[in-house]
Amino acid sequence: MSPIQINRRRFSQFMAGTGLGLLNLTTHASILKPEAGKEYRLLSQPQAANAGNKIEVIEFFAYYCHFCHHLEPSLAEWVKKQGDKISFKRIHVLNPGAETQQKLFFALDAIGKADELQNQVFDAYHAQRNRLMTDEQVRDFINKTSIDKAAFFSAYNSFTIKTKQARAPRVMSDYEINSWPTLIVDGRFQTSPSMAGSEHGRPSEEQANQALFPVLDWLVATAQKDKANAAK
């Protein structure tokens, strides 16, 4: 089965409201040194990270994704704590049936409003049941916000956004993305809540989310050391 077919099935499961059955555990382990192939993995082909002296961190996510939604508050807090150490950005994944949600993200990102409206979009989908599956549903959402409507729809209908969507399969392939949320650090390291929480066996969703941040801290610190050594 191809990755796209697998992703299509995953999307159908999210839309049907099915959740991943995870066993709740009570202990939290401290990851002093994450292990490659376990809590994180190396990309087979490193990607360019254009972040200057900062460390690039990319989250691959989807608005419809239950797990992305639940991770968002803790991830936003972690990003804020990093200050100038990192350059953080998001990329909405491509998935059959969710093209309009990806288009919404790219348009918001183009006008500098993606971070500002991140929680509002999640809330629209997961709480208000606006599935954001059509242009009309997107318009209904945008009309309830305070952003510049003309600027948004100019971006939303632009050739630039169409080009980004056309490139999305290649981007996901380059970063070896087949599930989400997934984070890429310095164009080399890939991790996720499920990878970071692997030491728990079958962790609860909250355990997996909280296990992610020590791994991210270690990967960022490792990338900083490598950058410093390369500059010597």
- Give me the amino acid identity at 155: A
Residues 6+ apart with CB under 8 A from 68: 61, 62, 122, 180, 181
Residues 6+ apart with CB under 8 A from 156: 103, 104, 107, 138
Query: Does 35 score more than 50 pLDDT?
Result: yes
Structure confidence at residue 232 as a pLDDT band (50, 70, 90)? confident
pLDDT tens digits for range 46-82: 999 989 999 999 999 999 999 999 999 999 999 999 9
Integer Cα distance of 8 and 97 in angstroms: 8
pLDDT tens digits for range 121-140: 999 999 999 999 999 999 99
Contact 194, 166 (CB under 8 A): no
Question: Quick one: pLDDT at residue 7?
Answer: 54
Neighbours of 19 (CB within 10 A): 10
Structure confidence at residue 28 as a pLDDT band (50, 70, 90)? very low
Integer Cα distance of 150 and 142 in angstroms: 11
Structure confidence at residue 12 as a pLDDT band (50, 70, 90)? very low
